[in-house]
Structure 1
Amino acid sequence: MSDHTTSPAATTERRTVGVEEELLLVDADSGVPRAVAGNLLRRAEADRPRRDEPPRAPDDGEIEAELQQQQIEVETSPCADLSELRRQLVEWRQYTDQLARKSDARVLAMATSPLPVDPRTMVKPRYRRMVERYGLTTMEQLTCGCHVHVSVADDEEGVGVVDRVQRRLPALLALSANSPFWQGRDSGYSSYRTQVWSRFPTAGPTAPFGSAAAYHERVERLVRTGVLLDPDMIYFNVRLSRHYPTVEFRIADICLRADDAVMIAALARALVDTAAADIAVGRSAPSDDPQLLLLAQWRASRDGLRGGLLDPVDAVPQPAAEVIETLLDHVRGALTANGDLELVQQGIDRVFENGTGAELQRRAVRDGAEPVEMVRALLDTSIAD
């Protein structure tokens, strides 16, 4: 199957990008996740009319509750300039860490806890219904992702993008892998978050929809089964946002380093631009087998960048470096047009040289650190400038 693409023309009108990050809240001394999200949210609310006093809330974006009380979600505002996106990500990480310190806690940018934890679900009616419906799948679901929103012209363009980026998503997962431990044990995966999240019934890759009408019809049909509580439980790897004029990439782990999150956001935007350029010239979406896409996702979740990944076109094992280079070649035109090529190339080189978050965690343990020592050693990396 061929995979020719059209390079977007250079333009001054860059698509906006916004990022949602789910952060763990951990004890400042023991590193064990702590159920203090309510405290953080109350303090953040109290900050709003008194922003001249520390801790000062960032001017852009939002802080929100997440499923479990041992985590918090922060959101940037839409940004065309990735340096502005980075500024907001760093400010939100640092601000939430300041709030957490008031409860003798810290924020930790890891996609699963390296230490054993008993998750405590937030007291909200919808979350109670999720516990009733999905049982342990909800109760054990303490995982943290990085969700990237990229602006699109309309739902038609958005669905065209969704159909065209599926085969590239495992590479984003491999680059972001940051969850090797689960309940105090090495899971054997680089992104065990992916395995845990995949328990939800709609999580994962999708077959081509073909049109916005077909996409919405499919979503309505899934909701009508009664298996889902509501349309917000459409957990596709990439989906149309119900609240913003965006496509939302949901496959990545939260990245230990903010710079890696910016790299993932740049790649997501470039994938959207490249897909949109193909749509504009009438190039059909690839008819990828969702089962093969799922196997490619599993391989990326298992091995990260230190094993083989499946080639996005032929679904045969290839060295991870070659598959990432294929991704870079695929979006090079868009990255160049957006002025992001150097940022992404440096980011990819950094991750291969220094390691993903999963590799940094495992390396610390191999070097003799106990899990709690590893958490302490990497806490500051989560909020570094």
Structure 2
Amino acid sequence: MPLERFNKSEALSLGVELELQLVNTHDYDLAPYAEDMLRLMAHTPLPGSVVPEMTSSMIEISTGICHSAKDVIAQLTPIRDALVKNADKLNIAVVGGGTHAFQQWHERRIYDKPRFRELSELYGYLSKQFTIFGQHVHIGCPDADAALLMLHRMSRYIPHFIALSASSPFVQGQDTQFDSARLNSVFAFPLSGRAPFALTWKEFEAYFERMTRTGVVRSMKDFYWDIRPKPEFGTIEIRVFDTPLTVERAAELAGYVQSLAAWFLQEQPFTPSEDDYLVYSYNRFQACRFGLDAVYVDPASGEHMPLREHILMTMTQLEWHSEALNATEALDRLRADVDASQNDARWLRERQGKERLLAEVVRQSARRFRGAV
């Protein structure tokens, strides 16, 4: 199957997808209510969409095309409110976060959809372990070559995205000592990691053709890269974010991505190279493990610095662009949390330190998602 043509999109347009947890309100474990939730949501006219995910305790919501972080929150808020209302009817709750704190993967059920059944047959137990929850951000690109250049420039900032969104410190009842343990499950898949270094669509088409000849790949959906092109939308899709605990944080992260993209398009601040990837895995690991307390290695200079400092320095560089995009408030809120060394992983650990009961942490997370705390 040939690679589809890269469609036109409006440069810097946004789209956001959020994978969400469905939990019961008895012990706050995951609950297989995706089909019921989708049935109820089908009766509510909303922007974007609500669709099933790999296992039946997950759903994915998405916005339509947005033009700013404020557009994103304007679309996510009514979807969130409808989810909460319908969850109440089912005596369940909707929760953000990159992992459920104590669910057991072997208890999960694969959602009855042909692609999910096919993936389950291919990947075995990894499919149920893929009951993890991420935010994906699409950013519109003016053309296919610009999309690849954008993709490789964004790769330097993958540690920022991981640390700012990290919300998965607990797995199967244990503190993993990672801020983002979710990504460890993603890395188990053979076609995960980074995209190949190609700066023209012609080069990328040649790579895709070679991969399809092997029989390993049939479409772009088979790649679980941290960032991948989405030719049908005319975007690149950033996939390393944990799902935040609130839709407000999801919109703020989208505003940060859009501000970076504007900086790249309008100022062309650097030319990416294959050497950028010499420290890519190290930087990504540091951000997953330590969050905002990570060390960041600058791929151009080799300088080591606190990731927190690199994020704050970058936000200062983006001020003019964020102002032009009406994203100043979004970046200010992110900056305040970076200054305070606060992300969702730390909030979850603080709640567990106080409550000593993960079910109560999940309950409070559900209240936070619905805007009650």
TM-score of the superposed pair, with normalisation by structure 2: 0.90
Name the structure 1 match of 2:252.
263
**1:376 has 2:366 as partner:** no
Name the structure 2 match of 1:349.
336
**1:180 has 2:169 as partner:** yes
User: Greater shift after overlay, 307-316 or 150-159?
Assistant: 307-316
Query: Aligned letter for 1:30?
Result: D
Name the structure 2 match of 1:231.
220
Q: 2:20 pairs with 15, 20, 23, which one?
A: 23
Question: For the Cα contact (< 8 Å) 1:177–1:255, is it kept in 2?
Answer: yes
User: Greater shift after overlay, 357-366 or 315-324?
Assistant: 315-324
Question: Matched residues in 1 for 2:251 and 2:306: separation?
Answer: 24
Question: Matched residues in 2 for 1:30 and 1:312: separation?
Answer: 46
**1:35 has 2:20 as partner:** no
Equivalenced residue count is 361
Question: Matched residues in 2 for 1:76 and 1:241: separation?
Answer: 16
Query: Aligned letter for 2:331?
Result: V
Structure 1's 270 and 219: CA in aligned 2 closer, same or farther, altered over 3 A?
farther
**1:305 has 2:292 as partner:** yes
Q: Deviations over 1:292-342 (max 9, x none)?
A: 211111110111113433345445542232121233244334223323234
Q: Quote how far apart the aligned CAs of 1:194 are.
A: 0.8
Secondary structure, aligned partner of 1:288: helix
Question: Matched residues in 2 for 1:260 and 1:352: separation?
Answer: 16
Question: Matched residues in 2 for 1:57 and 1:124: separation?
Answer: 24
Structure 1's 71 and 208: CA in aligned 2 closer, same or farther, altered over 3 A?
same
Question: For the Cα contact (< 8 Å) 2:23–2:31, is it kept in 1?
Answer: yes
Structure 1's 314 and 26: CA in aligned 2 closer, same or farther, altered over 3 A?
farther
Question: Matched residues in 1 for 2:121 and 2:236: separation?
Answer: 30
Question: For the Cα contact (< 8 Å) 2:68–2:325, is it kept in 1?
Answer: no
User: Greater shift after overlay, 334-343 or 369-378?
Assistant: 334-343
Question: For the Cα contact (< 8 Å) 2:308–2:338, is it kept in 1?
Answer: no
Question: Matched residues in 1 for 2:57 and 2:343: separation?
Answer: 23
Quick one: percent identity of the two aligned structures? 25
**1:254 has 2:243 as partner:** yes
In the alignment, structure 1 segments of 5+ residues that lack a partner are 1-12, 48-55
Name the structure 1 match of 2:142.
153
Question: For the Cα contact (< 8 Å) 2:55–2:131, is it kept in 1?
Answer: yes
Question: Matched residues in 2 for 1:365 and 1:219: separation?
Answer: 45
**1:215 has 2:204 as partner:** yes
**1:321 has 2:308 as partner:** yes
Q: Quote how far apart the aligned CAs of 1:62 are.
A: 0.7
Question: Matched residues in 1 for 2:368 and 2:341: separation?
Answer: 13
Structure 1's 315 and 221: CA in aligned 2 closer, same or farther, altered over 3 A?
farther
Name the structure 2 match of 1:3.
none
Name the structure 2 match of 1:167.
156
Secondary structure, aligned partner of 1:120: coil
Question: Matched residues in 2 for 1:39 and 1:266: separation?
Answer: 33
Question: For the Cα contact (< 8 Å) 2:275–2:299, is it kept in 1?
Answer: no
Name the structure 1 match of 2:273.
286
RMSD, aligned CA: 2.2
Question: Matched residues in 2 for 1:176 and 1:329: separation?
Answer: 19
Q: Deviations over 1:199-251 (max 9, x none)?
A: 11222223531101112222332333233454311222112114312111111
Q: 1:82 pairs with 69, 76, 80, which one?
A: 69
Question: For the Cα contact (< 8 Å) 1:193–1:253, is it kept in 2?
Answer: yes
Secondary structure, aligned partner of 1:90: helix
Question: Matched residues in 1 for 2:278 and 2:28: separation?
Answer: 38
Name the structure 2 match of 1:7.
none
User: Greater shift after overlay, 218-227 or 232-241?
Assistant: 218-227
Secondary structure, aligned partner of 2:77: helix
TM-score of the superposed pair, with normalisation by structure 1: 0.87
Question: Matched residues in 1 for 2:302 and 2:187: separation?
Answer: 20
Secondary structure, aligned partner of 2:356: coil
User: Greater shift after overlay, 347-356 or 374-383?
Assistant: 347-356
Question: For the Cα contact (< 8 Å) 2:49–2:63, is it kept in 1?
Answer: yes
